[in-house]
Amino acid sequence: MAERAISVLWKFGPMVYLPTLLFSLGEGAVVPLIPVIAASRGATLASAGLIASALVVGQLCGNIPAGWLVSRVGERYTMVIAGALSLIGVVAGALAPSLVVFTVAVFVVGMSAAAFGLARHAFMTTRVPVEFRARALSLLGGSFRAGMFVGPFIAAALLALFHTENAALWFFVVLLVALILLVLFGPDPEAQAAAADRDPGDVEDTGEAVSGSIPTIERAGVFRTMWRNRGVLGRLGLAAASLSAVRSARQVVLPLWGVSIGLDASSIALVVGVSGAIDFALFYASGQVMDRFGRLWAALPAMVLMGAGFLVLSLTHDASTNVLWFGMIAAVLGVGNGLSSGILLTLGADVAPQSEPAAFLGSWRTLTDAGGAIAPLLFSGIAAISSLAIGAAAMGAIGIIGAIGFLRFIPRFVPRRTLP
């Protein structure tokens, strides 16, 4: 089983994992600089923040149309279209004559990122056997995390070398050109998957031909698919959104907490960096746990750790050892986030209709992205009217509620399979 898993994942590497790494490297280099670029072109701090948020808005708006596109033209061509649109958006951002054009460019990149991500997700959903689906999707998530982790360091090097933020944008352009060429002229993963389906050792085979797009007998449509699956989306989907929320909150809470207890920027960066390194180190282990013991064994500990971590952090702000607690809780949150690597992708794949997953996954990803987008706003609003401690406690409560949701709904919608 292990040898077969490695064989299948290796086949998908050049056309699924490598494009993911290329896209995330560019995105990781550019995203931290969006408000900086906007400010350098005349935006106020407030409007620079709004311009940066256009990326998230684009992702939210892009998921459902991306589901429709994947079901019509297939995963490969959706990746090409997404790469081309991103290329147009990034070039437009580099050459934008006004802040309005720059904002539209950021929005287009966000929509393209949604389409690119959904195409990979849908392909892995239909073509990777369920016996090692979690490992495959955790590796996909790990590829994205690697790019987002390394990208900012590349941006810093480019800034030091060229003394302009546009260097990161042109770096992204080069990666997008390479990505489009790779997807267009590299090995066709759909053809490889079809060949793999003919192997006698396959465990799960739908018996459908694979060429160009996800095969379907009858396309139900995006909104009809959402309605048919409203039960799982309204239950397990909301639990998944809560996980996305606490993940996103971590990126905002930790830096602000460090500032509030008097740490300097380098110390905060070190703590957050160590937390991120712990997170990244666990991404494949999460897939192993999910495949071997079931999805709940990764989702529940992750949510309990992050929820409890935020709750404990909320009690330590004025303690004499608050710096020590800050470092410890940051590490705990890193472990929790690392254990959850790939779980949103895997649960979405598990509950998606196998005949036509793209439309469902568009709705699933919209829910999870919305959770990630709302959490920082919710935390900031609570902190503004009360305190950081109460805001952190609220994030902890969301984590615990999400853990209860996973405990109830994962066994209901994703019963554990007994693997050989």
Per-residue pLDDT of 284-308, as tens digits, reads 888 889 988 899 999 999 999 999 9
Q: 258 and 194 share a domain?
A: no
Q: 296 and 237 share a domain?
A: yes
In a domain, 325, yes or no: yes
In a domain, 419, yes or no: no
Q: 182 and 228 share a domain?
A: no
Q: 402 and 274 share a domain?
A: yes
Q: So what's the pLDDT on residue 114?
A: 92
**pLDDT higher than threshold 60 for residue 198:** no
Q: So what's the pLDDT on residue 216?
A: 40
Q: 273 and 142 share a domain?
A: no
Q: How confident is the model at residue 126 (pLDDT cuts 50, 70, 90)?
A: confident
Which one has a higher pLDDT value, 111 or 152? 111
* Residue 303: domain span: 224-413
Q: So what's the pLDDT on residue 213?
A: 44
Q: 189 and 323 share a domain?
A: no
**Cα end-to-end span (Å), the chain:** 8
Other C-beta atoms closer than 10 Å to the C-beta of 43 total 20
Q: How confident is the model at residue 127 (pLDDT cuts 50, 70, 90)?
A: confident
Q: What is the mean pLDDT of residues 98-111?
A: 94
Q: 207 and 112 share a domain?
A: yes
Q: 194 and 251 share a domain?
A: no
**pLDDT higher than threshold 50 for residue 317:** yes
Q: 187 and 229 share a domain?
A: no
In a domain, 366, yes or no: yes
CA distance 420 to 328: 39
Per-residue pLDDT of 20-43, as tens digits, reads 999 999 998 898 888 888 888 888
Q: 230 and 107 share a domain?
A: no
Q: So what's the pLDDT on residue 36?
A: 84
Number of domains in the chain: 2
Q: How confident is the model at residue 222 (pLDDT cuts 50, 70, 90)?
A: low
In a domain, 51, yes or no: yes
Q: What is the mean pLDDT of residues 314-325?
A: 93
Which of the residue ranges 43-47, 83-87, 189-193 would you say has the lowest mean pLDDT?
Answer: 189-193
Per-residue pLDDT of 380-409, as tens digits, reads 889 889 899 999 999 999 999 999 999 999
In a domain, 57, yes or no: yes
**pLDDT higher than threshold 90 for residue 410:** yes
In a domain, 420, yes or no: no
Of the candidates 182, 215, 248, which is a domain's last residue? 215
**pLDDT higher than threshold 90 for residue 178:** yes
Q: What is the mean pLDDT of residues 158-183?
A: 92
**pLDDT higher than threshold 80 for residue 63:** yes
Of the candidates 191, 215, 239, which is a domain's last residue? 215
Mean pLDDT over all residues of the chain? 84
Q: How confident is the model at residue 235 (pLDDT cuts 50, 70, 90)?
A: very high
Q: 183 and 68 share a domain?
A: yes
Q: 292 and 368 share a domain?
A: yes
**pLDDT higher than threshold 90 for residue 240:** yes
**pLDDT higher than threshold 90 for residue 313:** yes
Q: What is the mean pLDDT of residues 122-129?
A: 82
Of the candidates 172, 197, 215, which is a domain's last residue? 215
In a domain, 418, yes or no: no
User: Which CATH number does the domain housing residue 84 bear?
Assistant: 1.20.1250.20
In a domain, 69, yes or no: yes
